[in-house]
Structure 1
Amino acid sequence: MNTLAAVWSWLTTASHWTGEAGLLHRLVEHLQLTAVCLLLSCLVALPVAIVLGHLGRGGVLAVNLANVGRAVPTFAVLVLLLLTPLGRYGDWATVLALVLFAVPPLLTNAYVGMRGVDRDVVEGARGMGMTGWQLVWRVELPLAFPLVWTGVRIAAVQLVATATLAALVGGGGLGRVITAGFNLASTPQVVAGAVVVAVFALLVEAAFEVVQRSGPAWVRGRAR
């Protein structure tokens, strides 16, 4: 049996989808980990980027500092965090490493989107008597939203792929399927796990695209 046939056979075996070690359970764990890390990274990066983008000060420094993190492998960050007291608290080291990994695209895209808003539009809104926060929420952020959403989409897809690292430190998710395949010397299981992760990432990408295309006007970048 060739490799592709063996992978298909593994994926279509019902017992591989059920139970605590099954694909469905691991998929739910992977989705939960991705969602938590994406939410936390948005809470960290987006307010900073939006405020700095509105003020027009300090953003370049913040973006450059955030992008420095891209040069450091996520696995190296995870290992270093495990050596700290944070490593004693379950999955928090993994969550923090993934959050740090997701911050750069969120921060960069949101800041660039805010600064890319037509200054004539902003000045016109200010001339109409809008306050700073009204400018942000009613003009700048709606117009910048396509780039902000792109940053969220990139971070989400990257998290789906990188969350497999959780399995290397005893966490859950689809990475456990892959590591179990290595432990069993089962190439079909390793490839099957990788295929499921890839398909999951593509589905997440498609979901974000559908939301943006079918969403209301402000999602597509039109100010109210």
Structure 2
Amino acid sequence: MNVLDFARAFFADGAHWHGYDGIPTRVLEHIGYSLEALALAALIALPVGLVTGHLGRGGNVLALIATAARALPSFGLLVLMFIWLGLGTLPVMIPLVVLAVPPILVTTYEAIRAVEPSPVDAARGMGMTEPRILLQVEIPVALPLILSGLRTAAIQIVSTATIAAYVSFGGLGRYIIDGLYQKNYEKVVGGATLVAGLALATLVVFWAVARIAVSPGVRRSD
């Protein structure tokens, strides 16, 4: 059997569409882990990136932090957190958040720094406060790049959240891990296909968000 045959057999099996190990349940678990990790990473990285980008300081430090975080192996960090903290959501969230923070942080910083100085200077000349300049001038212009950083982080999380299955959590990684253990390659291929499909769906979601959230004038200027 080839890969397409394995995938076809997996999705054609009605047993894979029901129960605690069914595709809907595993997809929802995977989305839940991914959304939680993305929200935590954004909560950490967005404010830091926005403020440092607005002030124009700390770019070198952010680059060093991002490089160090990218160098950490997600699976190794998961195992270390599992040994240290035991079972729970936290050992799964830490490596996913560490993975997602660098693209959000660096892209947000660079997006704010890339805003042309003329509208910022005009806003200051009108007497706008620095927080208002950031919120009303810089962020709307920088939003496409900020969303691209979030999109990159989201895809990385969706692809890497399969490691949760190594510490007995659910999600689409269960098909891959269990399938390898059982030598059931239908499960392995089916799980990998679902992860790839979810990553593509993430791209579509962010494309739709950008179409709604970014003003037409900013889109035309890109």
TM-score range for the pair, normalised by the shorter chain length: over 0.9
For normalisation by structure 1, the TM-score amounts to: 0.93
Is the contact between residue 143 and residue 218 of structure 1 (CA under 8 Å) also seen in structure 2?
no
Task: Return 67-76 or 191-200, whichever deviates more.
Answer: 67-76
Is the contact between residue 87 and residue 167 of structure 2 (CA under 8 Å) also seen in structure 1?
no
Aligned to 2:215: 217
For residue 77 of structure 1, report the CA deviation from its aligned partner. Answer: 1.3
Distance (Å, rounded) in 2 between the aligned partners of 1:91 and 1:213: 33
Unaligned runs of at least 5 residues, structure 2 = none
Task: Indicate whether 1:71 and 2:71 are aligned.
Answer: yes
- What is the number of equivalent residue pairs in this alignment? 220
Is the contact between residue 45 and residue 103 of structure 1 (CA under 8 Å) also seen in structure 2?
yes
Is the contact between residue 143 and residue 214 of structure 2 (CA under 8 Å) also seen in structure 1?
no
Q: 2:198 aligns with which of 197, 200, 206?
A: 200
Task: Indicate whether 1:154 and 2:152 are aligned.
Answer: yes
Amino acid at match of 1:120: S
Aligned to 1:171: 169
Distance (Å, rounded) in 2 between the aligned partners of 1:3 and 1:24: 22
Q: Structure 1, residues 140-189: CA drift from partner, whole Å, max 9, x if none?
A: 11111111100011111110000000001111100001111112101121
Q: CA RMSD in A?
A: 1.7
Q: Structure 1, residues 201-224: CA drift from partner, whole Å, max 9, x if none?
A: 0011111112212445189569xx
Aligned to 2:58: 58
Distance (Å, rounded) in 2 between the aligned partners of 1:219 and 1:14: 49
SS in 2 for 1:129: coil
SS in 1 for 2:192: helix
Distance (Å, rounded) in 2 between the aligned partners of 1:181 and 1:105: 32
For residue 54 of structure 1, report the CA deviation from its aligned partner. Answer: 0.7
Q: 2:95 aligns with which of 85, 94, 97?
A: 97
Cα distance 1:52–1:193, how it changes in 2: closer, same or farther (>3 A)?
same
Aligned to 1:141: 139
Q: Which runs of 4+ in 1 moved over 6 A?
A: none
Distance (Å, rounded) in 2 between the aligned partners of 1:95 and 1:205: 22
Aligned to 2:25: 25
Distance (Å, rounded) in 2 between the aligned partners of 1:43 and 1:155: 13
Any residues of structure 2 matched to 1:6-45 within 5 Å, and which?
Answer: 6-45=6-45
Cα distance 1:143–1:3, how it changes in 2: closer, same or farther (>3 A)?
closer
Distance (Å, rounded) in 1 between the aligned partners of 2:9 and 2:203: 27
Distance (Å, rounded) in 2 between the aligned partners of 1:215 and 1:58: 28
Task: Return 73-82 or 144-153, whichever deviates more.
Answer: 73-82
Distance (Å, rounded) in 1 between the aligned partners of 2:89 and 2:22: 20
Unaligned runs of at least 5 residues, structure 1 = none
Distance (Å, rounded) in 1 between the aligned partners of 2:95 and 2:6: 34
SS in 1 for 2:9: helix
Q: Structure 1, residues 36-67: CA drift from partner, whole Å, max 9, x if none?
A: 00000000000000010111111321232122
Distance (Å, rounded) in 2 between the aligned partners of 1:132 and 1:2: 59
Q: Structure 1, residues 123-155: CA drift from partner, whole Å, max 9, x if none?
A: 111011110011001101111111110001111
